Amino acid sequence: MTNPDRDREFLQRSIDLAQLAGEEGNRPFGSVVVVDDAVVAEGYNQVGSTGDITAHAELVALRSAIDEGFGERLTAATVYASGEPCPMCTAACVWGGIGRIVFAASSAAFTEILPDGPQFRSTCAGVIATSDAATVVDGPLLEAEALRVMGRYASP
């Protein structure tokens, strides 16, 4: 069962992590993994600072959740993301059995602000639809708040 107030709280945390990513010179994206209404892992984009092209916020958070022993419980997890997960991150959620993905800013909206990097026509829900996963996708929620943070780190 979804709880809109809790969704906003967890999305706000992902937006705060996006701010941290931007402050460290990375693209401004953050993510949290929630199980049983508790944050079990957090991550933010570290591609720029590490050179690891897979260090997207969602993947960093998922790896952390697995490292913390939550791998078997990911089917009960919700991944919250400041921006709509890309196809790579969405596919990782499918492979991990994530039950729900909630995002703040849509890809269509944030690519207007952050145009650098590849752009995909597939949405997160569209990628899920091509699989046999039962993952639920909700968003955009808190889009203006996420876009405000992203705008601080847009290239001139």
- E strands within 25-70? 30-35, 38-44
Which phi and psi angles does 135 have, rounded to 5°?
-60, 130
Of the residues 42, 58, 84, 143, only one is catalytic, namely 58
Which phi and psi angles does 132 have, rounded to 5°?
-100, 15
Q: Which element (helix H / strand E) includes 105?
A: strand 100-105
Measured CA to CA, the distance from residue 137 to residue 118 in angstroms comes to 22
Cβ pair 108, 140 in contact under 8 A: no
- Let me know if 58 is a catalytic residue: yes
Q: Which residues carry out catalysis?
A: 58
